[in-house]
């Protein structure tokens, strides 16, 4: 006889542990974490670094700052167009949980204070699909930073 409830309970515990571990790893490697709504998206050519390629510059209206010092109402995120290079395609008007990093992989982009990158290799997701447990974990980790 197989007890499915034990198997499901075990799987649920593993999923919870995996979620906490994944969130902690992404939190520790991200410079900025925020929720925001995509308000603008433009394509530009990345000239002057390795090989010229098209990149996307996303402008997000910050809803909540979770990690990093974001003083502006809007923040720009750079992403490659090619998904094989961790590029991503966010939709205007959609709200997201965004994990981003400071990068020197691109030449200084005009009117952008810091080059922040993000894409499909990060835990980015639409705000409506974020699990409550992930936001709870992020807030705990963020409070831990503020106490330090």
Distance CA 107, CA 4 (A): 55
Residues of the chain with pLDDT under 50: 1-16, 51
Which pLDDT score, from 0 to 100, does residue 90 have? 85
Contacts of residue 82, Cβ cutoff 8 Å, sequence gap at least 6 = 53
Could you report how far apart the first and last alpha carbons of the chain are, in Å?
Answer: 52
What pTM was estimated for this model as a whole? 0.77
Helix axes 132-147, 4-29, angle to 10 degrees: 40
Which pLDDT score, from 0 to 100, does residue 34 have? 93
Q: What percent of the chain has pLDDT over 90?
A: 35
Which pLDDT score, from 0 to 100, does residue 4 have? 43
């Amino acid at each position: 006889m197989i007890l499915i409830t034990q198997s499901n309970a075990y799987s649920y515990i593993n999923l919870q542990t995996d979620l906490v571990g994944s969130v902690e790893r992404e939190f520790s490697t991200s410079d900025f974490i925020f929720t925001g709504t995509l308000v603008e998206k433009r394509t530009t050519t990345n000239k002057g670094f390795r090989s010229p390629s098209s990149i996307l510059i996303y402008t997000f209206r910050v809803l909540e700052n979770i990690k990093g010092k974001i003083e502006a109402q809007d923040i720009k995120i750079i992403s490659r167009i090619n998904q094989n290079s961790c590029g991503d395609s966010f939709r205007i008007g959609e709200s997201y949980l965004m994990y981003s990093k400071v990068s020197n992989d691109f030449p200084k982009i005009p009117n952008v204070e810091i080059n922040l990158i993000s894409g499909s290799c990060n835990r980015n997701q639409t705000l409506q699909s974020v699990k409550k447990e992930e936001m709870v974990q992020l807030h705990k980790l963020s409070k831990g930073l503020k106490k330090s």
